Amino acid sequence: MTTEELRASLLSTSKNGYALLDARQKDEMEAYCKRYAAFMDACKTEREATAWTVKEAESRGFKALVPGMELKPGDKVYHNNRGKSILLAVIGKESLNQGVNICAAHIDSPRLDIKPNPLYEDSEIAYLKTHYYGGIKKYQWLTIPLALHGVVYRKDGEVVTVTIGEDASDPILVVSDLLPHLAGDQMQKTASQLIAGEQMNVILGSEPLEGDGENLTKLHIMKLLNEKYGLVESDFLSAELTIVPAGKCREVGLDRSLLGCYGHDDRVCAYAELEALFNLEVPTKTAVCILADKEEIGSVGISGMKSFCFETFIHDLCHCTGASLCRCFENSFCLSADVSNAFDPNFADTCDKLNNSRLNYGVAICKYTGSRGKSGASDASAEAMGHVRTTLDNAGVVWQIATLGKVDQGGGGTVAAYMADRNIVTVDAGVPVLAMHAPLEIVSKLDCYETMLACKAIYLA
């Protein structure tokens, strides 16, 4: 053998995905990304993503799972977990004792949550106090257009939905920053201290009501909120209001090959799972799609991946079809569909280039996440990785390897460990993202599309 032949047969080569797509696939990719962008424009919170999914699923024949209902292959069911997370299934031909194929993503993203007693006035400016949710660089959230999304459970028991800042005619909200002229002290601080959590106060207004007494600007804002939503100040206690970047998902780059918006992590994988599920014929094994909440703060809470809600859903599916939950878990496979960090040449020294995911190289498969000594990772086995690799290769999916940064640099986690805790073989995979957790994250269209194809292949495995 010549060295060229040896090279070709022995060494692995990775190719930019654009070298592997034909014209038909490129058209499909563009159409897919248009649908994904529309989803992102409609869904900026876990509640909005759940509501969107319920509506879309029902229009495609999914029914709410009722314990004890009769289920046969091809039936489509879902469980809406209190409006904040959702589980869906397409019943397969095999018994659930043979296991199910799961894709699990999360639909919460880092943001600024409103405090329980948030409204105050200082120097005749009205503000909302916030408490950041998830891992953010606080300074990135200053002087950018922000919107208010959420629900309020009013004193009278009515639940009202609030959205301010997304319609072109809406006002936006903002957190101010210090002018550079006076930032001598500020610029000496470390980036995490440039702005304190207690300074992340959102400007609501500046026009005082006519009259005497204190807090006339705050009173004006409360009056406006009362007129539009029927709110009184104490209603903030029973609210889930959150500040997110205002605006729509946009194409990025002169070649339009990238998509920029808030919350790709992890709705980019959530949408990939959903669209793959929606287009399934009757699968061999039952296909399960999970859109979880609270991943960004540790998968905690009743709507997080650690919640027993997941067991309840799979138990109900097993019960309806005469299978055992333990056998089902033991034989199941889960693709923990979450984003990875795309290699950024501007910050090359934070990553091991040989093992980092790259834009346009396809869905990124990750054996382990975690930090330092793999702490917090589920660390998939050779067999689990082999299963994913073979499944994706057989389906013609463009894939690549991912690890999260240099060994000593930091790290992160996903829902994978919590799925593995249930005795379910689990592997991480997802879309590489530039500027993850920033108000505007960047992904490549090609990777979005390949991740949808990967979810489809896993459901059909």
Does 441 engage in binding with Mn ion (CB under 5 A)?
no
Residues 264-303 that bind Mn ion (CB under 5 A): 265-266
Per CB under 5 A, the segment of 22-30, 46-54, 72-80, 260-268 that binds Mn ion is 260-268
The two three-digit tokens of residue 392, written as one number: 């994706």
* Of 62 and 418, CB closest to Mn ion: 418
Alpha-carbon dihedral sign for residues 359, 417, 453, 77: negative
Smallest separation, CB 410 to Mn ion (Å): 13
* Of 217 and 336, CB closest to Mn ion: 336
C-alpha to C-alpha distances, 315 to 97, 128, 291, 421, nearest whole angstrom: 11, 43, 18, 16
Per CB under 5 A, the segment of 31-39, 180-188, 261-269, 354-362 that binds Mn ion is 261-269
Alpha-carbon dihedral sign for residues 436, 441, 444, 445: positive
Q: Give me the residue whose beta carbon is nearest to Mn ion.
A: 266
Amino acid identity of residue 404, one-letter, is L
* Of 164 and 434, CB closest to Mn ion: 434
Q: Are the beta carbons of 243 and 173 closer than 8 angstroms? A: yes
Smallest separation, CB 444 to Mn ion (Å): 17
> Rounded CA gap, 283 and 333, in Å?
14
Smallest separation, CB 296 to Mn ion (Å): 5
Smallest separation, CB 268 to Mn ion (Å): 9
Task: Tell me the DSSP string of 45-56.
Answer: SHHHHHHHHHHH
Smallest separation, CB 412 to Mn ion (Å): 7
Per CB under 5 A, the segment of 1-9, 173-181, 298-306, 333-341 that binds Mn ion is 333-341
Sheet of 85-90, strand order: 63-64, 76-81, 85-90, 286-292, 100-106, 333-337, 425-430, 363-366, 399-401
Smallest separation, CB 436 to Mn ion (Å): 6
* Of 77 and 268, CB closest to Mn ion: 268
> Rounded CA gap, 446 and 361, in Å?
8
Rule CB under 5 A: choose which of 46, 166, 235, 338 binds Mn ion.
338
> Rounded CA gap, 343 and 322, in Å?
47
* Of 201 and 336, CB closest to Mn ion: 336
Please name the residue that has the structure tokens 């329980």: 116
* Of 140 and 215, CB closest to Mn ion: 140
Per CB under 5 A, the segment of 125-133, 258-266, 300-308, 400-408 that binds Mn ion is 258-266
State whether residue 231 is helix, strand or coil: coil
Count of residues touching Mn ion (by CB under 5 A) = 3
Smallest separation, CB 344 to Mn ion (Å): 16
Work out the angle between the directed axes of helices 23-42 and 46-59 (0-180°, nearest 10): 120
Smallest separation, CB 350 to Mn ion (Å): 16
> Rounded CA gap, 229 and 216, in Å?
20
Residues binding Mn ion (CB under 5 A): 265-266, 338
